[in-house]
A and B are shown apart, each in its own frame.
Chain A
């Protein structure tokens, strides 16, 4: 006999890439390193998703430079997820990107039955638009507050203060990638270990302000890249 109740469903886990495609990302192969890193992480991401059949991992991507637009607007199941290269040109309208993201987090697609979304912001510079307004819009939403927000800085020019504000969690810091190898490691960590933690659905007593998904330890940077000619230094 059928089980009591209506249709059953896995819990959705929405994953968002928020990628900086400003002109500076074309310097020292940063944009191509990012494209490669995301592409390399896909098989591991699929593996992690397969290990938890009670979570449905759905991926979207948003890019920002002169304005912001969806790179992948409709959520794609991780099983069908592939990566088309981004190109770099223009300024860094991060505020607009956060506003666009907020619109999606506030939509009917994001029910409170889902697992906390994971948002990974990758940037190499400073916002050129009204970042604070975009951030305020994002953090005013329940899922904007409760999402697991990870920030990866590429090179020395990224604005760490802005990335910290985006993370909005005193226990987490932006990851700083100084070369393509570190970027790959961080992208992999965010798209596998963080996803793994967010998909357990384990509850927490709300005893501290920062209580949300318990995240794994952040990866440590590699430093022995001097002799490796395959590694782009940012």
Chain B
């Protein structure tokens, strides 16, 4: 699962990635699927990783599909966006502006197109599972709620989206909805990108009518800040820890594990660690993406 040598991102240093997505303990008990998704790809020296969390409540009954379509849309658009040939320093400001102005809408549109295509090939009226979910929704919340979803099928696919893009000149972070992008910077500072205190189950979502306006996005040139380690996670992970301090310890632990046991070891064990974390913690699905800067493993790197 980790990036092979020939695929490693060309840049000031190489990057190594791995990740996993597991069904939450609670979802197992309730007979629900894993509604999270993760995808990463490299192309022309760029690396993109996306993580998505499909909303679990009844009205979002196709969210496990919505999350898969979200990570697919994200990877496609991101790689297209940075496919600009040789990236010079002069181009950075233009890219920065374009990314801020256009990228959220492009990604949301790509997701909506994919959802539309899926829906047209799988109409609610011809899908027994969808019919059963709609019936349950009607019983619990009334016919008006059912009609709302039937008239606006996109809501059934609701999901969040987190993305990180690494090029040879900059990193780019994108967040819509809950979940965390945690970053260890070169100066040792640990931070959460676009950290917002969220109370309760309602989250910003790709299925909102003004979704692109809710996106938090930031392009950071490596000349300003070079990340050493980036961790993308759905909210089932942070919610499994007693507090922020207990959560942030994962950054040190995953770096130590990579240094002392190697990425293959993490790769082999990650799913079972996340399953145990879900069992002892939030019970929610957990998806984790790990992006290591190769600098971390250089003996002489300070």
Q: Do A and B originate from a single complex?
A: yes
Q: Are A204 and B282 CB-contacts (below 8 A) given A4-B253, A113-B239, A217-B140?
A: no
A153 interfacial contact with B, CB 8 Å: no
Q: Which residues 236-264 of B have a CB within 8 angstroms of A?
A: 238-243, 245-247, 249-250, 253-254, 257
A200 interfacial contact with B, CB 8 Å: yes
Is there contact, CB below 8 Å, between B55 and A202?
Answer: yes
Is there contact, CB below 8 Å, between A7 and B57?
Answer: no
Tally of A-B Cβ pairs under 8 angstroms = 150
Tell me which of B79-87, B113-121, B199-207 binds A. B199-207
Tell me which of A8-16, A74-82, A132-140, A179-187 binds B. A8-16
Is there contact, CB below 8 Å, between A54 and B60?
Answer: no
A10 → chain B closest CB, angstroms? 7
Residues of B within 8 A of A128 (CB): none
Q: Which residues 252-286 of B have a CB within 8 angstroms of A?
A: 253-254, 257, 273, 276-284
Q: Are A11 and B56 CB-contacts (below 8 A) given A54-B25, A142-B197, A217-B139?
A: no
Residues of A within 8 A of B227 (CB): none
> In the docked arrangement, what's the CA distance between A17 and B60, Å?
31
Residues of B within 8 A of A204 (CB): 55, 57, 59-60, 158, 201-203
Q: Are A212 and B202 CB-contacts (below 8 A) given A6-B242, A204-B55?
A: yes
> Which residue of chain B is the closest to A216 with respect to CB atoms?
B140
Q: Which residues 114-157 of A have a CB within 8 angstroms of B?
A: 116, 142-143, 145-146
Per-residue A-contact encoding for B59-95, CB less than 8 Å = 1, 0 else: 1100000000000000000000000000000000000
B178 → chain A closest CB, angstroms? 7
Per-residue B-contact encoding for A197-225, CB less than 8 Å = 1, 0 else: 00011111111000111101100000000
A3 interfacial contact with B, CB 8 Å: yes
Is there contact, CB below 8 Å, between B243 and A111?
Answer: yes
Is there contact, CB below 8 Å, between B242 and A203?
Answer: no
Is there contact, CB below 8 Å, between A10 and B273?
Answer: no
Q: Which residues 93-118 of A have a CB within 8 angstroms of B?
A: 111-113, 116
Interface size class of A (residues with CB under 8 A): 35 or more
Is there contact, CB below 8 Å, between B199 and A112?
Answer: yes
A115 → chain B closest CB, angstroms? 8
A224 → chain B closest CB, angstroms? 24
Binding site for B on A (CB under 8 A): 3-11, 51-55, 111-113, 116, 142-143, 145-146, 171, 200-207, 211-214, 216-217
User: Can you list 27 residue pairs at the A/B interface with Cβ under 8 Å?
Assistant: A3-B277, A6-B249, A7-B241, A7-B246, A8-B281, A51-B29, A52-B283, A53-B25, A53-B283, A54-B25, A112-B198, A113-B241, A142-B199, A201-B201, A201-B284, A202-B56, A203-B56, A204-B55, A204-B201, A204-B202, A204-B203, A205-B60, A206-B202, A212-B200, A213-B201, A214-B59, A217-B140
Binding site for A on B (CB under 8 A): 25-26, 29-30, 53, 55-60, 139-141, 155, 158, 160, 178, 197-205, 207-209, 235, 238-243, 245-247, 249-250, 253-254, 257, 273, 276-284
For the complex with contacts A4-B253, A206-B205, 11 further pairs of A-B residues with Cβ separation under 8 Å are A9-B240, A11-B282, A112-B197, A113-B239, A116-B200, A146-B200, A203-B201, A204-B57, A214-B57, A214-B58, A217-B140
